[in-house]
Amino acid sequence: MTWKANSSSHALAALAALLLLWIAPGFAQAPSNLDKSLWDTYMDAAARANEDDQLYSAEVLWKAAIQVAEQMGPDEVRLFFSREMLLLTYYDLGEGESEKAKELIPLTGRLDGSKINAGLLPFSRMLEDLANAYDERWKKGKNPDIALEEAERCRLIQTEIQKSVVTQDVDRARDLALYGIVLTHRKKFDPASQTLQEALGYWDAQDKKTDQRVEVSKRFSLLNKGNPSFEELGELSEDPIYAKVILANTYYDLATQAKSSSPIVHAEGAFQLAESLYKQNLQTWLQTWPKGSDTATAYTNLGNLYQEEGDNKNAENSFKQALQIWLEGWPNDSGTAATYWDLGYLYMIEGKNQDAETNLKDSLHLYETIEGANSRHSKLVAKDLTDLFRKENRDKDAGDIEQKYQLQTSPAPQ
């Protein structure tokens, strides 16, 4: 990724440096609350600069945080975290900063978990925001390998902090599930499986605690009609309906990664658990908001699971149920576009080429209208459509799509 210089970023970096020079001589020998608060301030500002691609400002601010941590003593755990974050920024800056990264690596040392305390929770929340930013960079193809590696590192450090100081089951489960998903994307299947299994243990504990509140939760959930992502779940962490959704998603992730690494019985068992939970969730939404977007999403979840299991008939029925809800309530929504895409891809792998083309074109038209022709979703659907055309030896049609959406030319599928 490229850092773009601007006056505000230079001013921010200069202010940080001048402020550090002004306050550094006055530090006491023992770390005070003021020291820790200043460290939090520098770390948060550095993270925000990193998220905004103001990487040189981030570098200056991480270094300021390091100097604050050094005043607290050589064994201060904040020193480890500051250096780790600076190292990530050097990786962001690329080969030009590789020598600085090499010099810093020996100084990072090993994390002493016994020194982690509740005072690091603000830093933990900052790590979640930074990890989400790296996730977005990965999705958008901005140095994807580095972005995914750094998302993993942020999630790992966050889970270590949470392990030491967080007692809420849903918070631990959410963070572990996010970390497990990143590990799965990086094809680290064994640690991913272990992490997701640990997340499931926390979700099960949360599930037992909150079962008695389901009726109240049904009414609460109606006020939150969007289906939350993992990142948004924290705002709904007391809602057992959403907890069950993410529990089911975690089983599904565990099953799909097990299936992709080896065809073992473990995947089948995890799929069965996911299916049971998805069906419970669907029944809840059918009773409370039968024509709502969450109900449509519940049908889609089941459809994806059936497709993974090879049950294409039930997958098609589930996707059609979802599409009917989207078309009645939100015909021009991205959820409608996604469901057309699900159906189109299913028909494509079944060899129902005409149905596949119709649904993929409907999806592509909607995505292009909503997000633009250069959006990630538009390009992905366009790629599936070109694959379909190549399969039918319609090279001109495939070439037209590739040219319009600026896709790399793909060979005809064998």
What pLDDT is attached to residue 316? Answer: 97
* pLDDT tens-place string over residues 38-58: 888 888 888 888 888 888 888
Q: Cα-flanking dihedrals φ and ψ of residue 276, to 5°?
A: -60, -45
CA distance 48 to 56: 12
Q: Is the dihedral of CA 383, 293, 319, 228 positive or negative?
A: positive
Architecture of the structural domain at 332-414: Alpha Horseshoe (1.25)
Q: Which CATH number fits domain 35-108+120-166: 1.25.40, 1.10.1740, 1.10.10, 3.40.50?
A: 1.25.40
Structural fold of domain 167-318: 1.25.40
Give dist(CA 330, CA 336) in Å, integer.
7
Quick check: 173 pLDDT over 60?
A: yes
Which string of DSSP letters, residue by residue, matches 125-170? HHHHHHHHHHHHHHHTTSSHHHHHHHHHHHHHHHHHHHHHH---HH
d(CA 90, CA 270): 40
Work out the number of other CB atoms within 10 angstroms of the CB of residue 358: 15
Is residue 7 pLDDT above 50, yes or no? no
Q: Identify which of 196, 195, 145, 202 has the alpha carbon closest to the alpha carbon of residue 171.
A: 202
| pLDDT single digits (tens) 181-199 | 788 778 776 787 778 778 7
CA atoms of 169 and 237, how far apart (whole Å): 10
In eight-state DSSP terms, residue 127 is: H
* Span(s) in the chain for CATH 1.25.40.10: 332-414
Tokens of 338: 């996604």
Q: How many helices (H) and strands (E) does the chain have?
A: 18, 0
- pLDDT tens sequence across 349-377: 999 999 999 999 999 999 999 988 888 88
CB 166 within 8 Å of CB 202: no
For residues 381 and 386, what is the distance between their CA atoms, to the nearest angstrom? 9
Is residue 161 predicted with pLDDT exceeding 70? yes
Where do runs of H (alpha helix) occur along 166-239?
A: 169-185, 189-210, 214-221
Which of 161, 305, 152, 132 lies closest to 229 in space, CA to CA?
132
pTM confidence score: 0.53
Which residue did the predictor score with more confidence, 385 or 276? 385
What value, to the nearest 5°, has the Cα angle with vertex 64 and ends 58 and 67? 145
Residue 94 neighbours by CB under 8 Å, 6+ apart: 143
Tens of pLDDT, residue by residue over 272-286, are 877 887 787 788 778
pLDDT at residue number 247:
62
